[in-house]
Amino acid sequence: MSIHFDSTGMKKYCSSNTCNWCDGCGDYGIWTAIKRALVELQIPPSGVLLCYDVGCHGNMSDKLMGYRFHGLHGRVLPLAAGAKLANPNIPVIAHGGDGASFSEGVNHLVHALRSNYPITFILHNNANYGLTTGQASALTWQGQPMNSAPNGIPENTLRSMDFVFSLEPTFVARGFSGNIKQMVEIFKAAIRHRGFAFVDILQACPTYNKFATHEWLMRHVYDVAAEGHDPSDFAKARQIAVDTSERISTGVLYQDAGVPNFYERLVARQGKKAVPVEEVKKIDVSEFMRGLV
Ligand code: SF4
């Protein structure tokens, strides 16, 4: 099969830096899928902002081209939302892990969902803190021995999808790091979404996650599109997102494109033609300063 590379093709996203994830890490699949999705949407590297949290996934920040920002632990969402406010003309994609997103930065996730910021959030969900050698996260299965919790975590595992749906999201999808083709379609739909797109990617971490392995995930996931799921049905979407007892639903689970996003509801920006970055200019404050002395 021949592959045609046009001016916005995959080669444009290639970085000379070598990936250093462990063999079999699901980050390789997500890294490939996000580049492919951007190419298929005909978005060149100069037309996207990719933001990264701290974590194994954050090592992606110099493994592909594009405008990139590697932020502080748990703080990827506020910096991504701020960047989008400064320049709403380009898509902003934020990546975060399950550790930071559901512990250190969980407050930011709450407000991103209720604000419906027009950004895409890709959750690298490997159910542990891989970068810090396999500590348990809020999404680690209860009772599962981890490096920081050899007897298993005493807390309940956070029911992440129930939590997300309780905040009235406008876009929820779930993918699996072993299914690049499906991830590409999910990422494209998320990037095109009008508001906040929450994308949960179940990511294999062969080094520290010995329970939800690549093989285990392959046996449990199914594609909701193949079963005729209607993504406008909130109640059904929530039910199939939360109930993972026997099978795990993947694909676009829920979408409501009719809800205005945060910036569309921002009264101070209504009717403005320029974006805030274009409005930044030198202002002579000497008159003001004289009044202070
Ligand atoms: Fe990937 Fe896990 Fe290795 Fe991190 S520790 S690079 S998540 S396999």
For 232-278, the pLDDT digits (tens) are 999 999 999 999 999 999 999 999 999 999 999 999 888 888 888 88
| CB of residue 106 inside a 6 A radius of ligand 1 | no
- Quick: pLDDT tens for 102-148: 999 999 999 999 999 999 999 999 999 999 999 999 999 999 999 98
Alpha carbon 36 to chain centroid, angstroms = 16
Under 8 Å between Cβ of 187 and 33? yes
pLDDT of residue 37: 97
> What mean pLDDT value characterizes the chain?
94
Contacts of 290 (CB under 8 A, 6+ apart): none
Establish whether residue 56 lines the binding site of ligand 1, counting it when its CB lies within 6 angstroms of any ligand atom: yes
CA angle 141, 142, 145 (to 5 degrees): 85
- Which pair of tokens denotes residue 259? 């809800």
Q: How many CB atoms within 10 Å of residue 193?
A: 23
What is the whole-number distance in angstroms between the Cα of residue 23 and the centre of ligand 1? 8
Confidence class for position 281, pLDDT limits 50, 70, 90:
confident
Residue having the nearest C-alpha atom to atom 2 of ligand 1? 205
Average pLDDT of span 38-47: 96
Confidence of residue 2 (pLDDT cuts 50, 70, 90): very low
Cβ–Cβ under 8 Å, residues 141 and 113:
no
Candidates 117, 67, 75; CA nearest to 97 is: 75
- Which whole-number Å values give the CA distances from 180 to 28, 100, 162, 278, in the listed order? 10, 24, 25, 37
Cβ 202 vs Cβ 248: under 8 Å: yes
**Token representation of residue 20:** 């250093």
The residue with greater pLDDT, 2 or 227, is 227
pLDDT at 201 over 70: yes
Scanning the structure block, which residue is given the tokens 């933001």?
51
Q: Judge if the beta carbon of residue 205 lies within 6 A of ligand 1.
A: yes
Atom of ligand 1 nearest to the CA of 26: 1
CA distance 293 to 289: 7
Q: How confident is the model at residue 293 (pLDDT cuts 50, 70, 90)?
A: low
Q: Rounded CA gap, 155 and 138, in Å? A: 8
Does 90 or 5 have the greater pLDDT score? Answer: 90
Region 15-33 average pLDDT:
96
Q: Which two tokens stand for residue 182?
A: 């499906």
Residue 282: the pLDDT is: 84
Pocket test for ligand 1, best of 19, 23, 27 (most atoms within 8 A of CB): 27
Cβ of 27 below 6 Å from ligand 1: yes
Ligand 1 centroid – CA 22 distance (Å): 5
Could you give the percent of the chain with pLDDT greater than 70?
A: 97
Residue 94 and residue 82: Cα distance in Å, rounded? 12
In terms of pLDDT, which residue wins out, 272 or 197? 197
Asked if residue 103 lies in contact with residue 58, where contact means CB atoms within 8 angstroms, the answer is: no
Instruction: Determine what percent of the chain is predicted with pLDDT higher than 90.
Output: 87
**What's the whole-number mean pLDDT along residues 57-85?**
96
Buried b or exposed e, range 61-93, using 16+ CB within 10 angstroms: bebbbbebebbebbbbbbbbbebbbeebeebbb
Q: For residue 275, what pLDDT is reported?
A: 86
What would the pLDDT profile of 160-193 be if each residue is shown by its tens digit? 999 999 999 999 999 999 999 999 999 999 999 9
126 lines ligand 1 (CB under 6 A): yes
Nearest to residue 200, comparing CAs of 160, 142, 227?
A: 160
What token pair was written down for 52? 């990264």
pLDDT score of 115:
98
* pTM reported for the whole predicted model: 0.93
